[in-house]
Structure 1
């Protein structure tokens, strides 16, 4: 199995492993795009439409949408369907608040490589929010 290691900035401590959900154009954080109670992605045109964020490592280039972006992820946590962690190319205030409110491991601000270009949906990803290391194991399918 192919393993790739990339490094970003630690954004929220902890270590977690889970399958990746990659969002090349991000995920809009509004009620029409993410069902708060189920974690199901409803955003039109999103390659992950119909999938749930529950237990996944979300791989995003940045936030998309209004300042309410983080509130929808917090609602997903309250409903028990939040992601296991985050890998973020460049964090902004909307994603920073979402990361802090979910309190799940996160790595952000990659300078050498864009994780959205390296990680594929379904890859097994281990993130270390204390060191900033992200280990990717390719999904063989």
Structure 2
């Protein structure tokens, strides 16, 4: 299956999906040293996004979250790619700075199609998600 989407940060990435229908704050919500969600109120609490395709509706919180994403890239703990329903500036800026492929506005409801651990390719050059 191939799903069209909007390109935010160019590149290609693939891996197992880690998905949540709740927005995520990277500042205080994610440990940049491990890539693990540390916000105890978030459904992904205790799970690592390192090397995975992160699927979320969008981000929330402080603009410093962009730098957390950048630090994750430097630490080798960043997601392989990010898919958002609607990207907002915090995650978009972080993905661009970190060189993480990112897309948004998929033409299908990914929360109805994707599930944890499903292998997905994000082609943020052609604007496609391949399941």
Residue 15 of structure 1: how far off its partner (Å): 2.0
Q: Aligned pair count?
A: 131
Identify unmatched segments of 5+ residues in structure 2. Answer: none
Does the CA contact (< 8 Å) of 1:21 and 1:122 recur in 2? Answer: yes
Alignment partner of 2:32 out of 9, 33, 36: 36
1:38-77 superposed matches below 5 A: 38-77=34-73
Q: Is the 8 A contact 1:88 1:115 kept in 2?
A: no
DSSP 3-state at the match of 1:95 = helix
Residue number in structure 1 paired with 2:77: 81
2:124 alignment partner in structure 1: 129
Q: Give TM-score scaled by structure 1 length.
A: 0.84
Q: Take 1:40 and 1:64, find their aligned partners in 2: how far apart are those partners?
A: 17
Shift of 1:30: 1.5
1:122, CA displacement in angstroms? Answer: 1.0
Q: Cα RMSD over matched residues?
A: 1.5
Q: Is the 8 A contact 2:70 2:95 kept in 1?
A: no
Q: What secondary structure sits across from 1:70 in the alignment?
A: helix
Verify: 1:114 aligned to 2:131, yes or no: no
- Structure exhibiting the larger radius of gyration computed from Cα positions: 1
User: 4+ residue runs of structure 1 moved beyond 3 angstroms?
Assistant: none
Gaps of 5+ in 1: 137-141
Query: Corresponding residue for 1:7?
Result: 4
> Partners in 2 of 1:58 and 1:38 — Cα distance?
15
What SS does the corresponding residue of 1:125 show, helix, strand or coil?
strand
